[in-house]
Amino acid sequence: MQIHYDVDRIKHILQNLTCLTGISLSFMNMEQEYLCYCCPPNTFCAALSAADAQAEPRCWESDKRLLAACERSHRIESHICHMGLFDAIVPVIKNGTVVGYVVPGRIRVPSSVLPAPYCDDLRLAELWHSLPCYSDEQIRSLVELLPNILLGNAIELRGGDLASEAAAYMKDNLTHKIDLEGLCDRFFVSKNTLYRAFRERFGTTVNQYLISLRTERAKRLLTETEMTIAEVAVAVGIEDYHYFCRVFTRQAGVAPGAFRREARKSSPVT
């Protein structure tokens, strides 16, 4: 699968957001390369580096820790950095795939406090206090909006598709509980998006596709193993024996026991 970035469009979007919010925003691709960096006019970082030679390395280490956590979780990761500022890594996810990261920074929150070692530097303190300050609720709204704003036509996935990826996940996890809400959460899409993808790719609904997968797996187990019907039901992710029998009969046109007997006439278990 290839990811195509419209760098000019991403940069334009981030510049507009920076202009509106006063927050520095950058975007990283999947190789962790910065494709663009938008910073409002403020010399705080330069002043900090001049006052403390270790400040910039600490900032990089802070970002690296957040990025590592975000790569593992595929969720927004944030903390208050060594300068008392809010830092975050926001994954941009399209069709269930992480396609990049937005990095907002240099944000004060109401509880922010300039670390004591820097308080005596009046110029640095002045620049620190001039950084934008947002409430926790405002920051939460911003980081949740960022990936949605960037999707549009700015980032495009080429090759692969949502329905096929979801179907593969379902096949690999049939023994577990699978439902529409869980699939949407896993692939970071809405119900309507997932419904539409399955209709276009398979000509059926998500639930019907899942039932068909479970029925076909059950047919194979009934034919090839000595598992009881109740064990087969659990093995295909349906713990309710009676519900399994109803679903199987509706799909196969015959009850599980009868299906096993007919199948074994032509293909006996050895």
Question: What three-state secondary structure class fits 123?
Answer: helix
Question: What three-state secondary structure class fits 190?
Answer: coil
Same domain for 223 and 195? yes
Q: How many other CB atoms are found less than 10 A from the CB of residue 136?
A: 11
Q: How many domains does the chain have?
A: 2
Q: What are phi and psi of 26, to 5 degrees?
A: -135, 165
From first to last of its 270 residues, the chain has per-residue pLDDT tens of 567 788 888 999 999 999 999 999 999 988 888 989 898 876 888 888 888 888 888 888 888 899 999 999 988 999 998 889 999 999 988 777 888 999 998 899 888 888 888 888 898 999 999 999 999 899 989 888 888 777 666 887 655 578 888 999 999 999 988 998 888 877 767 788 888 889 988 999 999 999 999 999 999 999 999 999 999 999 999 999 999 999 999 999 999 999 999 888 876 554
Same domain for 103 and 214? no
pTM attached to this predicted model: 0.60
In whole angstroms, what is the distance from residue 239 CA to residue 256 CA?
A: 15
Same domain for 133 and 55? yes
Tokens of 55: 């400040």
Per-residue pLDDT at 111: 85
**Amino acid residing at 227:** M
User: Where does a domain end: 109, 129, 158?
Assistant: 158
Q: What is the CATH number of the domain that holds 97?
A: 3.30.450.20
